[in-house]
Chain A
């Protein structure tokens, strides 16, 4: 047993740090730090291009498909260092979701057609899973795909589609058969977002952002060669996708960065002549979340190392998801506690109100409430934390 990184891993971490210091554009870094998403598409695509030119576009893919060949520990180090350096996130829908599905289940033609654009960041992918009646019970989804010659004809609606307003492609779960069990009869389709009959409507969120959409499909024609694997067997691929690439599901790097920043900010906020961080009550709350995060990082590493032999983490990932999102949410709560009344002035609402002369640059305090509001999503998406508890009870505890 050894809780320290090997010399090789330490050298790798130094290499990643050096690369981030040299290659991450300063303006992008600043926007990420400020929570400024005004150029989020450019920032994500430019960063993906830089990673691609460096050979680091797809940390978890096999080398023969343009991946890095990194160990899971190295992937974890990379994710963590990127978060600590305020790098933009990689677009998960391409690199972490559809990419691995194409590699595992796609035809050679599909791989040649789609993987290069995912690696370079030129193609923006999004996900069409949830529907108005199908959230936690995803297998009940209803969006119809009817075979018509060499095409499927799609009718229906998807919701909670993240950043689809920028997307070139969407991967969707659709119903091709409703005669059997709900899981049977789902198919997995790749759809060009420029197809006639697709309408994207923004869903404005509580923090004023446009992060998710609802998408309407009205007689959208999709060539059959954009079906993944076998017809009716899409649930298998969807499960593979959900179970894949979860080395970073706890979001350790992002929470470490939030904690670092919380401590810096709280050290600079005055409370009765002393830094807020020195306040016993506030400081104890910070200490508590720091300890919980410390434990979770080790738990995360235990899962990664126990998992080295297997392709995808098992149900232990549910523990990481629940605890990781709880910690991220608590950190965002502590930040609004730190700013107190200053967090009331809210840039998102000022924008909606179209106020003349309202602050145009986000302030840290305004940013704190935006984060707090936005991060409520963490315990809801990706399988709500209640669903994750069901998984733990059934798969780990055997209940």
Chain B
């Protein structure tokens, strides 16, 4: 066992933190979230310049070939910085999907563009029915004379509007029943409809309508995508856990700091035992969440799928519970100031809420873990 980071890993974490502090500070974020794009292209480009967008590109494809621990560190810093840029969507999820599923030609075409920041890609997988069964995809792909005809609806695809390339999962009609395919669609294609929305944590998302959308054969990535999609979603979940842990650390630090400076009854409110014990409880939950974020990252590559799924569900459930408790208590201890849009605390609170709701709720993962108890 070893809980230390290598020198390179520590450097990666420090560099990411520094970049976010310089380019994506809270004031900048407050401006960016008021624009329709909802993020800064320039900041994105600066991510590319120091190689962060190449982190999940395999070395063989010219990337950094980072693993789950490296992704965890970057996403940890991203959560700390309340980042609005589409790192998880494009640089982790879509990049990994293409790296896993793409042909050599597809990888050669897209991965360098993803790494240099000129292309943003997203994976459109979630549907109304995938919340409880991640592979319960109803969108369909039917063979046509020109390739494939895609039909269906995808929900809450993060950063879809920013993407030049949308990867859509679809059930192969007339195939082996549960075969899934992934298809790459260029933004603006005929038959592709986007219904935009902003999420509770100031991110951009869209519901996507696929209406008789025709793509050529060359748009399909790989064969049956089920296992690769699952692996990609597992890595994404671990990355999301790291993001949440980053937010947890910062919201606790902000609360401690506030309780030291806020004076009532002639003393800092942090001197009151009722508040001290609350913050001790918050700290314990944050430390437990950190442990589970480590576990999630190290479980990503567990060869046993049942075990991998159980450990990731355990992590999502525990960190979700920490997010609920620590988030609520942070707002509570900030008093009225916790209710304002002005301080970061409410934004961390909302990021943690989004964590709870994304990629399966706390209860859903607790239930999934419970089913594993009885084999």
Residues of A within 8 A of B (CB): 1-6, 9, 73, 263, 267, 275, 277-278, 280, 283-284, 286-288, 290-292, 294-296, 298-299, 301-302, 305-306, 319, 322-323, 386, 388-390, 392-394, 396-399
For A399, the chain B residues whose CB sits under 8 A away are: 256, 259-260, 270-271, 276, 279
Contact with A306, one of B3, B260, B279, B298 (Cβ below 8 angstroms): B3
Binds A, one of B180-188, B229-237, B284-292: B284-292
The verdict on B170 contacting chain A, using a C-beta distance below 8 Å, is no
Q: A284-B366, A399-B256, A399-B276 are in contact. Are A299 and B291 (CB under 8 A)?
A: yes
B277 touches A386 (CB 8 A): yes
Residues of B within 8 A of A (CB): 1-5, 9, 69, 256, 259-260, 270-271, 273, 276-277, 279-281, 283-284, 287-292, 294-295, 297-298, 314, 317-318, 366-367, 369-370, 373-374
Residue pairs across A and B with CB atoms within 8 Å: the count is 126
Q: A6-B1, A305-B3, A319-B284 are in contact. Are A295 and B366 (CB under 8 A)?
A: no
15 contacts between A and B (CB under 8 A): A1-B4, A1-B294, A277-B373, A287-B373, A291-B369, A295-B289, A298-B292, A299-B290, A305-B1, A305-B4, A386-B277, A389-B281, A392-B284, A393-B277, A398-B260
Closest CB of chain A to B202's CB: distance in Å? 29
- Distance of A353 Cα from B104 Cα, bound (Å): 81
A295 touches B256 (CB 8 A): no
A284 touches B370 (CB 8 A): yes
- Distance of A295 Cα from B328 Cα, bound (Å): 21
- Distance of A288 Cα from B318 Cα, bound (Å): 8
Q: A3-B295, A287-B370 are in contact. Are A397 and B288 (CB under 8 A)?
A: no
Closest CB of chain A to B196's CB: distance in Å? 37
A298 touches B295 (CB 8 A): yes
Please give me the 6 A-B residue pairs with the lowest Cβ-Cβ distance, nearest first.
A393-B276, A298-B291, A392-B280, A287-B370, A389-B280, A295-B288
B318 touches A397 (CB 8 A): no
For B1, the chain A residues whose CB sits under 8 A away are: 2-6, 9, 73, 301, 305
- Distance of A392 Cα from B298 Cα, bound (Å): 29
For B288, the chain A residues whose CB sits under 8 A away are: 292, 295-296, 299, 323
For B373, the chain A residues whose CB sits under 8 A away are: 263, 277, 283, 286-287, 290
Q: Please, which residue of chain B has its CB at the minimum distance from the CB of A283? A: B370
For B374, the chain A residues whose CB sits under 8 A away are: 267, 275, 277-278, 283
Q: A1-B4, A290-B314, A399-B260 are in contact. List 13 more A-B contacts (CB 8 A).
A: A2-B298, A263-B373, A284-B366, A286-B373, A291-B314, A291-B318, A292-B318, A295-B295, A298-B294, A299-B290, A323-B284, A323-B288, A389-B280
Closest CB of chain A to B179's CB: distance in Å? 32
B280 touches A393 (CB 8 A): yes
- Distance of A394 Cα from B314 Cα, bound (Å): 31
